[in-house]
A and B are shown apart, each in its own frame.
Chain A
Amino acid sequence: MSQTLDKPVARAVGKKALSEGKKAERKLGLWLCAPAALVMVAVTGYPIFYSIWLSLQRYDLRFPDERKFIGIDNYITVLSNSYWWTSFGVTTMITVISVVIELVLGMVLALIMHRTLVMRGLVRTVALIPYGIVTVVAAFSWRYAWTQDTGYLAQLVAPDSALLTERVPALAIIILAEVWKTVPFMALLLMAGLALVPDDLLKAASMDGASAWQRFTKVMIPVMKPAILVALLFRTLDAFRVFDNIFVLTSGAQETGSVSMQTYNNLIKGLNLGIGSTMSVLIFLAVALIAFLFIKVFGTAAPGSDDGGKR
């Protein structure tokens, strides 16, 4: 991009100046990026390999003397463990359900923020609060709202039962907390896509007799597709890491724990580095697979996505 801008100037100055200027530019570019690149690689790149190395060992901090290289035994232990698969199922379920709800509500909120005739500033400001609020704080609010003694929602919905201690209601509350927090973020991403829809196109469609729903599905959705896909990808990967809400709401009791909860429990509570690292690697692989599928399946299927689909 910058090349095309610089060319006329460079040509005017002459060929030698160009190569020297280019050299200086390259050097400056590398120097400017080096610190950021170094930190990112040092704190993620190296640890992920270290984590693979740890996952191949029997390494329990309570019994440090028994540390030993055991190959893929940890993977066999984890993958044949029903708790792991339960939490994997819970994570997948929370991810799928909450992302679907978020997409629908996010679209509604985006349309509201984009189209409302009154109080537009207020709506946009208020909608940012769930996005900005500390997840743990929101989680405590939901927890107290759904706790039998203190909560207004518990008294309203089911005064005689402790919902957070029953599996299905607890999972529903976790999803509610996730959805509440992330709908505004989804809506903002979608709103950026909405801004790309030309008003003329909508007016033309309306003159041709398209109903509001037809304008939405036939005109808006296709134009917004790249933005929708980016929003979905971001949120899916983010939802798969669900941790804070579960930690505060149920601490993973009644089989409501996510894979992140499992890892945390094995690592920090159980002090089992070998198993904890194995789970870390497995989660990493799962997330990488989701990202790959998104880019492969949807990325290539999104026509004309020259800027949203750019990886």
Chain B
Amino acid sequence: MAAIGSAAPAGAKARWGLVDIAVVIYALVPVLWIVSLSFKTKETLTDGNFIPRSWTWQNYVDIFNTNEFIRALVNSIGIALIATVIAVVLGTMAAYAIARLDFPGKQVLVGVSLLIAMFPQVSLVSPLFEMERGLGLFDTWPGLILPYITFALPLAIYTLSAFFREIPWELEKAAKMDGATPAQAFRRVIAPLAAPGVFTTAILVFIFCWNDFLFAISLTSTESSRTVPAALSFFTGSSQFEDPTGTVCAAAVVITIPIILFVLFFQRRIVAGLTSGAVKG
């Protein structure tokens, strides 16, 4: 803040460089620590060194040899992907209507989704637990997908309607003049233009589903639908007397990889999505 001048002196650059490095350290240290632990051998696990003294892939070999982890990984990927697709499709439809059309109940819908965005998820755990047991949804994929869609929808609707407001709508009007119905205008003209926004929203929604822990441990009881974050807290190591630290860390690193990839490749989009949705909401 000290140097706002347009010609940046080298000193200012160096100072900013130091500040930037501090940010990088802040953000990366916990991640690097868990990566480091995952590569430590059993003997050096407790040496407290930040960088492993001897490296091993053993922890990764171990987790990919246990059914528990593979199953949880499949559950995590499947549930998050399905929930993302459904939430984004429903969210796109609703956001288009909110951004573009005039219809009764619009304000109510916006209000309701804002309420849900602020809703304490734990308040739903008790009734959903009981309802899902009654409906046979407890400990199944749909049993997790449903609440994920619900809590992802407000996020999807806000982010998408913010994106949709910035689309050049004259094109839609032109299509309508050429005889397209509103539905056709939506499919043929607007949908392709909206694709980047939809994609960004999909990333945000996927991160949300991928992250969830509360529903994952409350609404599942076996490996048939337990996701990785939930399974992590039940890890006991490959044998009963073994300390699970190494395997927990390896599993943790595996589920962090997609997040790192998203952040690396879509940084701009994620920032745009998060800020547009939240501020204009």
Residues of A within 8 A of B (CB): 2-3, 5, 9, 22, 24-30, 32-33, 35-37, 39-41, 43-44, 47-48, 50-51, 54, 109, 111-112, 115-119, 121-138, 140-142, 144-145, 149-152, 154-155, 180, 184-185, 188-189, 191-193, 202-203, 206, 212, 215-216, 227, 230-231, 233-234, 237, 240-241, 243-244, 247-248, 259-260, 263-264, 267-268, 273, 276-277, 279-281, 283-284, 286-287, 291, 307-308, 311
A132 touches B131 (CB 8 A): no
Q: Which of B56-64, B193-201, B247-255 is found at the contact surface with chain A?
A: B247-255
**Chain B binding surface SS class:** helix
Q: Please, which residue of chain B has its CB at the minimum distance from the CB of A149? A: B46
A137 touches B213 (CB 8 A): no
Can you list 20 residue pairs at the A/B interface with Cβ under 8 Å?
A: A25-B101, A25-B182, A28-B182, A29-B101, A33-B105, A36-B90, A40-B150, A115-B16, A129-B259, A134-B211, A137-B229, A140-B249, A150-B45, A152-B49, A189-B274, A241-B122, A259-B122, A273-B130, A276-B129, A287-B123
Given contacts A129-B259, A281-B123, contact A123 B28 (CB under 8 A): no
Which residue, B1, B121, B264, has most C-beta atoms of chain A within 10 A? B1
A280 touches B147 (CB 8 A): no
A47 touches B259 (CB 8 A): no
Q: Chain A residues near B260 (CB, 8 Å)?
A: 129, 132
Number of residues in B with C-beta < 8 Å to the partner?
104
Q: Chain A residues near B218 (CB, 8 Å)?
A: 264, 267-268
B17 touches A230 (CB 8 A): no
Q: Chain A residues near B100 (CB, 8 Å)?
A: 2
B116 touches A44 (CB 8 A): yes
In angstroms, Cα B29 to Cα A86, docked, is 33
CB of B149 within 8 A of chain A? yes
Residues of B within 8 A of A (CB): 1-4, 8, 12-13, 16-17, 19-20, 23-24, 26-28, 30-31, 33-34, 37, 45-46, 48-50, 90-91, 93-94, 96-98, 100-106, 109, 111-114, 116, 118-131, 146-147, 149-150, 153-154, 157, 169, 173, 181-183, 207, 210-211, 213-214, 217-218, 228-229, 232-233, 245, 248-249, 252, 255-256, 259-260, 262-264, 267, 270-271, 274-276, 278-281
Q: Please, which residue of chain B has its CB at the minimum distance from the CB of A155? A: B48
Given contacts A43-B124, A119-B17, A155-B48, contact A193 B279 (CB under 8 A): yes
Q: Chain B residues near A22 (CB, 8 Å)?
A: 102
Q: Chain A residues near B104 (CB, 8 Å)?
A: 26, 30
A135 touches B119 (CB 8 A): no
A137 touches B103 (CB 8 A): no
List the count of A-B residue pairs having beta carbons below 8 Å apart: 320
B26, B34, B46, B126: the one within 8 Å of A280 (CB):
B126
Given contacts A125-B267, A273-B130, A287-B118, contact A29 B256 (CB under 8 A): no
In angstroms, Cα B121 to Cα A284, docked, is 9
A137 touches B255 (CB 8 A): yes
B118 touches A149 (CB 8 A): no
**Top 7 A-B residue pairs of the complex, sorted by shortest distance between their CB atoms:** A29-B103, A47-B127, A29-B101, A192-B275, A43-B150, A32-B97, A36-B94
